[in-house]
Amino acid sequence: MSVPPKRFWQTFLAFSLGLALLALYQTQQQTQALLKMRTRYKWVVVMAVFALNVLLGIYGLWRKQGAGEWLEIRVPPALGRILGPLLLLLPFPTLWYVKYVFFGKALTAFFPLLWVWWWLMLLQAFGLRALFRGSWARAFSLALLLSGLVLQAYVIFQPVSDYPFSLGWSEASRYYYASLPFSRSIYGVELPLSVWHPTRYLLLSIPFVLKGLPLWAARLWQSLLWLGLSSLSAWALVRRLRPEGGFRKLLLGGWFFLYLFQGAVYYHLQVCVLIILLGVSSKHVWRSLLAVLLASFWAGMSRLNWYPLPAMLAIALYALEEPISRGGSLWRYAFPPVLWALAGLMTALAGQAFYIVISGNRDLSAFASSLHSPLLFYRWWPNATNPLGIVPGIVLVSLPLVVLLGWSLRQRLLDWHPLRSGLLLAMLLVLFAGGLIVSSKIGGGGDLHNMDAYMVMLALIGACSVTPRLAAESAPSSGSEAPPWPIVVGLLLVPLAFALARLAPPIQYDRAQAMHDLATLRAAVRSYSRSGEVLFIYERHLLTFGMIREVPLVPEYEVIYLMEMAISGNAAYLERFYRDLQNHRFAAIVARRQNLDAHSGDFAEESAMWNRRVAYFLLCEYEPVLTLPSANIQVFVPRRAPQCPAPLPPPNQP
Chain segment 463-493, per-residue pLDDT in tens: 999 888 888 777 655 556 789 999 999 999 9
Q: Mean pLDDT lowest for which of 37-46, 174-183, 186-195, 641-650?
A: 37-46
pLDDT in tens, 499-508: 999 999 999 9
Q: Mean pLDDT lowest for which of 286-290, 309-313, 454-458, 467-471?
A: 467-471
Read off φ and ψ for residue 536, nearest 5 degrees: -95, 100
Name the residue among 77, 68, 47, 43 with its Cα closest to residue 137: 68
Provide Rg for the chain, Cα atoms.
28
Whole-model pTM over 0.85: yes
Higher pLDDT, 399 or 169: 399
pLDDT bin (cut points 50, 70, 90) of residue 59 is confident
Per the DSSP assignment, residues forming a β-bridge with 637 are 623
Q: Mean pLDDT lowest for which of 48-62, 429-443, 630-644?
A: 48-62
pLDDT bin (cut points 50, 70, 90) of residue 345 is very high
User: Reduced to 3 states, what is the DSSP secondary structure of residue 188?
Assistant: coil
Higher pLDDT, 342 or 78: 342
Q: For the chain, what is the mean pLDDT?
A: 91
Higher pLDDT, 67 or 511: 511
Q: Mean pLDDT lowest for which of 16-20, 542-546, 599-603?
A: 599-603
What is the separation, in whole angstroms, between the first and last Cα of the chain? 51
Indicate whether 81 pLDDT > 70: yes
Rounded to an integer, the average pLDDT of 187-192 is 96
pLDDT bin (cut points 50, 70, 90) of residue 71 is low
Rounded to an integer, the average pLDDT of 387-416 is 90
Note the pLDDT of residue 306.
96
Contact 12, 122 (CB under 8 A): yes
- The span from the CA of 586 to the CA of 534, in Å, is 6
Rounded to an integer, the average pLDDT of 45-68 is 77
Indicate whether 39 pLDDT > 80: no
pLDDT in tens, 348-377: 999 999 999 999 998 888 888 878 889 999
pLDDT bin (cut points 50, 70, 90) of residue 60 is confident
Omega prior to 264 cis, within 30 of 0: yes
User: Reduced to 3 states, what is the DSSP secondary structure of residue 482?
Assistant: coil
Q: Mean pLDDT lowest for which of 84-98, 327-341, 389-403, 410-424?
A: 410-424
Note the pLDDT of residue 653.
45
Q: Mean pLDDT lowest for which of 33-37, 134-138, 559-563?
A: 33-37
Indicate whether 165 pLDDT > 80: yes
Note the pLDDT of residue 302.
96
pLDDT bin (cut points 50, 70, 90) of residue 64 is low
10-259-449-596 Cα dihedral, nearest 10 degrees:
-60
Would you tell me how many other CB atoms lie within 10 Å of the CB of residue 515? Answer: 11
Q: Mean pLDDT lowest for which of 52-66, 396-410, 561-575?
A: 52-66
**Percent of residues, the chain, with pLDDT higher than 70:** 93
- The span from the CA of 225 to the CA of 217, in Å, is 12
User: Reduced to 3 states, what is the DSSP secondary structure of residue 23?
Assistant: helix
Contact 282, 260 (CB under 8 A): no
Rounded to an integer, the average pLDDT of 23-35 is 77
Name the residue among 552, 619, 553, 613 with its Cα closest to residue 592: 619
Indicate whether 547 pLDDT > 50: yes
Note the pLDDT of residue 654.
42
User: Reduced to 3 states, what is the DSSP secondary structure of residue 276?
Assistant: helix
Note the pLDDT of residue 337.
96
Read off φ and ψ for residue 79, nearest 5 degrees: -70, -35
Name the residue among 186, 59, 75 with its Cα closest to residue 130: 75
Spell out the residues 6+ positions from residue 204 whose beta carbon is closer than 8 angstroms to its own.
174, 175, 177, 178, 218, 221, 222, 225
Secondary structure letter of residue 265 according to DSSP:
-
Note the pLDDT of residue 552.
96
Higher pLDDT, 236 or 28: 236
pLDDT in tens, 245-293: 899 999 999 999 999 999 899 999 999 999 999 999 988 999 999 999 9
Rounded to an integer, the average pLDDT of 98-115 is 91
